[in-house]
Every structure is written in structure tokens, then in C-alpha cells.
Amino acid sequence: MAATMQDVAQRAGVSIKTVSNVVNGYPYIRESTRQRVLDAIQALDYQVNAAARNLRTGRTGIIALALPELSLPYFAELADAVIEAADEQGLTVIIEQHGGRRERELDVLSGVRRHLTDGLIYSPLALGEGDEARLEVDFPLVLLGERIFHDPVDHVTMDNVEAARAATAYLLGLGRRRIAVIGVHPGEVVGSAGLRLTGHLAALAEAGIPPDDALLGPAGLWHRATGAEAMASMLDAGVRPDAVFGLNDALALGAMHELQLRGLRIPEDVAVIGFDDIDEGAYANPGLTTVDPGREQIARTAVEMLSTRIGSRGATAPHRVVADYTIVVRGSTEPGHDRPA
């Protein structure tokens, strides 16, 4: 027969209430007592009745993570980091993919699944300014990204403008002057594309270099294929950049592929930098120089914020955290910076 809480209490020499307090993470227990209970649980292979505990605490121990698409490496790696951070908090993560479609993003906020989870980490693409009221929900919520700035909830984001400015300034510091930008969304102001282009243009202005529309390569979706297509269109039009700034790593890798197909040397003829620091970039040939926007910090901070909000359920003011960024230099901009084989 399966061990009961009473069996654990008898073996550890404590009350059933003490066993319950240990199982439910009650902090004010003498460490020696806690260890005796844990040893008894392990010895008896006691299985916690999660359903009963959830009824008592009003929590499921499950949080949701809603992302645009896992086919983009950045979001896949972000999901992995969130799952790891949540595991440290004793939380399980379920992932929802909304595809950047407005109706699906709204469904994420109001769907029946919200009643099955304790809170939500949410990265929208279609929602934007004017949708702030949509985030006034009755469950713990942490917002990711930069579609909505004046939001009424906890928010973790990256410094898109300053990080992009630093990326362009880095290329300018290498003596590059004709810097193509791949992944532009014409007319966008709020959102990764608009903010990163703003940072790029700011760096050009600081260097006294006028912008050139011919060096702006639109790409609706930020995939390798669209990066290659945008680069090909630019080259076919006779535009000859000496550097490329891919607004994410997938675009930059696609652009690198197209440049190499045409016999251009990287970085001798064209230096290439991306944004996101996805794992694949380190193993490209040459390795891709990129902006690390603080993905691990974003994931860990979002989980910690949500866990705190779940625990307090208080009406405290929302917090906004901007992650730190770094430029990771590899061979696509400076020879000799790739790891030896």
C-alpha cells in the first residue's frame, strides 16, 4: 500500500501538521526537523497528493508561457530558459503559441486555460499601444517585449534602442560605413524592428553619416529565408554594403548565406552582426557576432516576478525591468574571434 502522511509523521517522529508544513514549503520549521521529514518521505517513497494540496492552497503549481512561435530560435531558447528558472521555483510551465495573430493573443488572455494555471508570462506581437486595458486581468501576469510600454502589469524587456545603437557603433568603429539593415518593417515605431532601426539611425547620426534608404532591407517574417531574400534583393539592385546588421540572428544568418553564395568574403568584404545570441550563431562559419539582449536575465526575472505576484496576490505597483545587453564578438566581424576547432 502507498505510504500516507501519517506513516511519514510516525517515521520522522513529528505531527501530521509538521509533515504538511514541510510538504507545502512552510518556512518557519527547524532545519533538523525538516530534514527528518524529507528523509522519511524518501525512505517511504511518499507521493504528495497534488490535487488535494491544490484544493487547499488554491494553486496548481503551473504557469503558462505564451510566445509568438517556437520555430524562431530566440523564442525556443527563451522558453527553455523560462522552464529552467520555473523548475527552480517548483513550477511547471505549459507553452502556448499564438503566432502573432491578434485573435489568438486575446484568447490567451481570456481563454478557459487561464483557470488551469497560476499565472502567465506573455509575449504579444499583434497587441500594441491602445491595448493597455486588455492587460487588466484578474490573474498574475508578466509582460515580455516592447509592444506595450504603459502597461498596468509587471514588465520585463530588453533595451532594443540602445543595444542596436551599440551594434551599429561597433561596426562603425571597425571602419564600416555602408551598413545594410536586414529585417526592417517600414512604418513601424513600436516593436523590435522599429526600435532597433531607431537605435541604428541614432548611431549613424552620432557619426555624422546620413541614412541611405537603399541600405534598408524589409523582411516581414524574421527567418533565415527572408534574411537571404532581403539580402539578395539588395545585391540585385546594385547596392554594395560593407557591413550588415541583421535585426535578429536568423536574418543575419540568412544574409550571410546569400553573401557567401555570391562569393563575398565575411568579414573581409562584408562584416555581419545579428541580434539575439542564439546558439546556432556560435557554430556558423564564420561564427556570428551578435547582441546578447540578456535572454537568461529576462527569463529568470520574469519567473521570479510572476512567482512573487502569485504568492502575494497584492495590489502592489507593477515593476518594469530592462535587461542588460552585451555584444558577443565572433569571426563574422573580426577574424580570429571564433573558437578553435
pLDDT in tens, 86-112: 998 888 999 999 988 999 999 888 866
pLDDT at 196 exceeding the cut of 90? yes
pLDDT > 70 in the chain, percent: 91
Q: What is the pLDDT of residue 80?
A: 95
56: helix, strand or coil: helix
Q: What is the pLDDT of residue 61?
A: 86
Contact 228, 262 (CB under 8 A): no
Q: How many CA atoms lie within 13 A of 254 on its CB side?
A: 25
Q: Is 197 exposed, middle or buried (0-12, 13-18, 19+ CB in 10 A)?
A: buried
In the chain the domains, ranked by start, together with CATH numbers, are: 5-48 (1.10.260.40), 62-158+294-323 (3.40.50.2300), 160-293 (3.40.50.2300)
Considering the chain, what is the average pLDDT of its residues? 89
Helix (H) or strand (E) holding 161: helix 160-173
Q: Which residue has the higher pLDDT, 329 or 135?
A: 329
Q: Which three cell numbers stand for residue 122?
A: 506573455
Q: Which of 88-92, 145-149, 158-162, 224-228 has the lowest mean pLDDT?
A: 145-149
Contact 62, 94 (CB under 8 A): yes
Cβ partners under 8 Å of residue 318, min gap 6: 151, 152, 153, 154, 155
Query: Measuring CA to CA, which residue among 212, 211, 230 is closest to residue 220?
Result: 230
Q: What is the pLDDT of residue 55?
A: 47
pLDDT at 341 exceeding the cut of 50? no
Confidence of residue 85 (pLDDT cuts 50, 70, 90): very high
pLDDT tens-digit series, residues 53-76: 554 556 778 999 999 988 889 999
Q: Which three cell numbers stand for residue 162?
A: 540602445
What is the C-alpha separation between 248 and 261, in angstroms, rounded?
Answer: 20
